[in-house]
Structure 1
Amino acid sequence: MKTPILLLHGALGSKEQFVSLREKLSFEREVFSLDFEGHGKSKSETNFSIELFAENAINFLRENKISKIDIFGYSMGGYVALYLVLKHPDLVGKIITLGTKFDWTPMFAECEIKLLNPEIMEVKVPAFVESLKQLHGTQNWKNVVLKTAKMMRDLGDNPTLKQTDFYKINNETLICLGELDTMSTQTESKNVAKLLPNGSFQEIKNLKHPIEIAPVDTIVAVVNNFMNTNN
């Protein structure tokens, strides 16, 4: 029986973005997804952090009596997955990250935070704001944006994962990056893949960062190819 897989969404995202991916991956194995605390229909009064989201995933596994899981982490979800496996290696089998930012600096964080002002977003990117309202609700989307901005500032000042942490992660890990993705870089993605004892890197042609516009069949093929090897 194949190991089930858990899909972890990115910053400002929710499990609703994985509906098509989850459906197609379900032909091969059991697939789970969750909303990180404060996202989607999950409410929270707590500040966002990678540690909090990893704990959300651990609690989800315990609640569903899942003893071993493979993980596909998109963007921030990939960062959460690596932190989770660093702290609880026995719970996780293989990991795939897609479009994950690893090289967090104060300068990069500030550039991202400038884009996360709800009032400006309503004027500059109204269509994106509407999508956030659909994901998180009209009363909660601003909280998600503001808490995400604070989390990014914290990551810039003090990255949750240090370079020495990657050496300690022995799980088979595939670091993926879209050819047209500007959130991360090939340099940092390949560097992390080299630091991981069982890491590898794969570029996905013609792929941009937003998961909403990613061709689902392409992602499914990458996930199944990696997860099914010796599984």
Structure 2
Amino acid sequence: MSDLLLLHGALGAASTLDPLQQLLKPDFRVHTLNFRGHGGSTIPQEPFRIEHFAEDVLRYLDHHQLQQVDLFGYSMGGYVALYLALQHPDRVGRIFTLATKFAWSPETAAKEAKMLQPEKVAEKVPAFAAALAKRHQPADWQEVMRHTASMMQHLGNHPLLTEDTLPGIQTTVRISVGDRDNMVGLQETAWAFQHLPNASLQVFPNTHHPLEKVNLNQLQHELRQFFGKVTV
């Protein structure tokens, strides 16, 4: 069996990938991890950064004695996966991303961060707030959200995946997005695909941004095809 590491999105945790992991277990050694400050791990004193999350992946690989691994990255996890391939190509096999945002500017970051105000979330979307509290306990989900908003603002001013850096990623990549994703546009997804030298592009029909709304049976089938584990 080959090793496949699943990387969660912003405000997510390893637990959010459990249903997908169960579907893939028959054909892969499936790994998940919590980025620092997520899933109940201690919130660090330093700010959240894509670079730090990439370090978390390297630390996981070293701890489990994995020289190289294939990666599936959902949303922010896809950004981390591609950045890791740019910095440490020897540690990364193939990459499949879903719903990863590439269009980062001060304006788009401000728009995203505006939606990450814990007090307003708790007031207007209490069910989501409760889910975040459970997902990140005993850590404070509101601090996780504030750190995430700050990270997005930093990324808006200092994007890591650009028209200059993306061509340096030589690994085989599948960039995918849902056709009904209201957070990640097809245009920015196609832009990333066009700048990657060994990439393919996929659009999932009738698919919104939240992982909970993704058709996991369809996703796991596409992952098996991409990573060479097609089930007849």
Letter of the 1:56 counterpart: D
Residue matched to 1:117: 117
Residue matched to 1:227: 227
- Show the 5 A alignment for 1:1-231: 2-43=1-42, 44-137=44-137, 139-228=139-228
Once residues 82 and 27 of structure 1 are traced to their aligned partners in structure 2, the CA distance between those partners, rounded to angstroms, is 26
**2:40/2:138 contact within 8 Å kept:** no
**1:3/1:68 contact within 8 Å kept:** no
Deviates more, 1:186-195 or 1:57-66: 186-195
Once residues 222 and 150 of structure 1 are traced to their aligned partners in structure 2, the CA distance between those partners, rounded to angstroms, is 34
SS, match of residue 30 in structure 1: strand
Q: TM-score, normalised to structure 2's length?
A: 0.96
Once residues 139 and 203 of structure 1 are traced to their aligned partners in structure 2, the CA distance between those partners, rounded to angstroms, is 35
- Structure 1 residue 45 displacement after superposition: 2.3
Once residues 127 and 16 of structure 2 are traced to their aligned partners in structure 1, the CA distance between those partners, rounded to angstroms, is 16
Once residues 33 and 20 of structure 1 are traced to their aligned partners in structure 2, the CA distance between those partners, rounded to angstroms, is 12
Letter of the 1:24 counterpart: L
Q: State the Cα RMSD in Å.
A: 1.3
SS, match of residue 70 in structure 1: strand
Once residues 229 and 139 of structure 1 are traced to their aligned partners in structure 2, the CA distance between those partners, rounded to angstroms, is 38
Identity of aligned residues (%): 40
Letter of the 1:10 counterpart: G
Alignment coverage as a number of residue pairs: 229
**1:76/1:101 contact within 8 Å kept:** yes
**2:40/2:139 contact within 8 Å kept:** no
**1:38/1:45 contact within 8 Å kept:** no
Once residues 229 and 192 of structure 2 are traced to their aligned partners in structure 1, the CA distance between those partners, rounded to angstroms, is 21
Letter of the 1:158 counterpart: H
Once residues 84 and 146 of structure 1 are traced to their aligned partners in structure 2, the CA distance between those partners, rounded to angstroms, is 24
**1:36/1:53 contact within 8 Å kept:** yes
Structure 1 residue ranges (4+ consecutive) displaced by more than 6 angstroms after TM superposition = none
Residue by residue over 1:18-47, the C-alpha shift from the partner in whole angstroms, topping out at 9 and shown as x without a partner, is 111001111111000000000002212221
Once residues 81 and 34 of structure 1 are traced to their aligned partners in structure 2, the CA distance between those partners, rounded to angstroms, is 13
Once residues 49 and 128 of structure 1 are traced to their aligned partners in structure 2, the CA distance between those partners, rounded to angstroms, is 24
- Structure 1 residue 138 displacement after superposition: 5.8
Which runs of 5 or more residues in structure 1 are unaligned? Answer: none
